[in-house]
């Protein structure tokens, strides 16, 4: 059996519920769903279910129908998370789409400063409230130096970290210097800052530079290579 029900589409008014009851009582030509079920089809959001600190809904309605989009405004001296004086929220089946935020425009920060060879781990915003922090991370093979978290204070960000460049061992340079990496199983050619790197002479060659130069340290992308000379028979 095919069942039909009354689909009621009405605009919001203070007499919404009384009107719904009246319409259901008038259903005679179709098989209408029970009142409580039909009543549940009319999803609404209440303005009392949302709190906007330092802001308010622009409309004066108490309830809002499903998919209704409404504007909220921030009080003077406050802005939304994207730096505007107003924003939009939508009534969804499980409630309001999001919790509006109004940030004190005094002391707020803009986007955190970019760093070379690194990024922040969260989505970038245009405005950050005082006390908010963001985290940085470095790209592969770069070493983070400093505090990975920066904080918005008095309209400015604390000092961001640095991403120190990795050292790339040049096979061409090693051939010219007649050297190779001491540890044969270690085939990696990338070293982080402060990593120790050990070299040795190729077979048939002897050290030309002092012995201590064969154990060097990666310094922000720079490596000092030792040298070897050919053995004389």
pTM score of the predicted model: 0.48
Q: Which CATH code of 2.40.50.840, 2.170.140.10, 2.10.70.10, 3.30.565.10 fits the domain covering 43-106?
A: 2.10.70.10
- The values of phi and psi at residue 48, to 5°, are -80, -10
Q: Any idea which architecture 118-164 has in CATH?
A: Ribbon (2.10)
Query: What is d(CA 92, CA 198) in angstroms, rounded to the nearest whole number?
Result: 63
Best CA proximity match to 43, nearest among 87, 12, 19, 1: 12
Query: 167-230 maps to which CATH number?
Result: 2.10.70.10
User: Which of the 8 DSSP states describes residue 219?
Assistant: B
Question: 43-91: per-residue pLDDT in tens?
Answer: 688 888 888 888 998 888 888 888 899 999 998 888 887 778 899 999 9
Rounded distance, CA 198 to CA 35, Å?
82
- Nearest CA to 221 out of 153, 170, 146 is that of 170
> Model confidence over 201-228: pLDDT tens digits?
999 999 999 999 999 999 988 999 999 9
What's the CA gap between 128 and 112, in Å, rounded?
A: 9
């Amino acid at each position: 059996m095919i069942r039909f029900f009354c689909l009621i589409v009405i605009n919001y008014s203070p007499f919404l519920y009384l009107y719904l009851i009246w319409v259901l009582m008038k259903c005679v030509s179709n098989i209408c769903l029970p009142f409580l079920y039909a009543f549940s089809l009319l999803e609404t959001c209440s303005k009392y279910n949302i709190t906007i600190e330092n802001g308010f809904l622009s409309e004066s309605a108490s309830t809002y129908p499903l998919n209704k989009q409404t504007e909220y405004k921030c009080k003077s001296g406050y802005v939304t998370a994207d730096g505007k004086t107003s924003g939009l929220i939508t009534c969804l089946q499980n409630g309001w789409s999001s919790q509006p935020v109004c940030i004190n425009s005094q002391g707020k920060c803009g986007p955190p400063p970019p760093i070379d060879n690194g990024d922040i781990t969260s989505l970038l915003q245009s405005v950050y409230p005082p006390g908010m922090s963001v985290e940085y991370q470095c790209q592969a093979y770069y070493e983070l130096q400093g505090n990975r978290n920066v904080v918005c204070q008095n309209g400015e960000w604390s000092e961001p970290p640095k991403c120190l460049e990795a050292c790339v061992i040049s096979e061409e340079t090693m051939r010219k210097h007649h050297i190779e990496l001491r540890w044969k199983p270690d085939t990696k050619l990338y070293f982080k800052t402060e990593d120790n790197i050990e070299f040795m002479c190729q077979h048939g060659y002897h050290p030309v530079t002092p012995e201590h130069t064969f154990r060097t340290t990666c310094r922000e992308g720079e490596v000092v290579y030792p040298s070897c000379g050919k053995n004389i028979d």
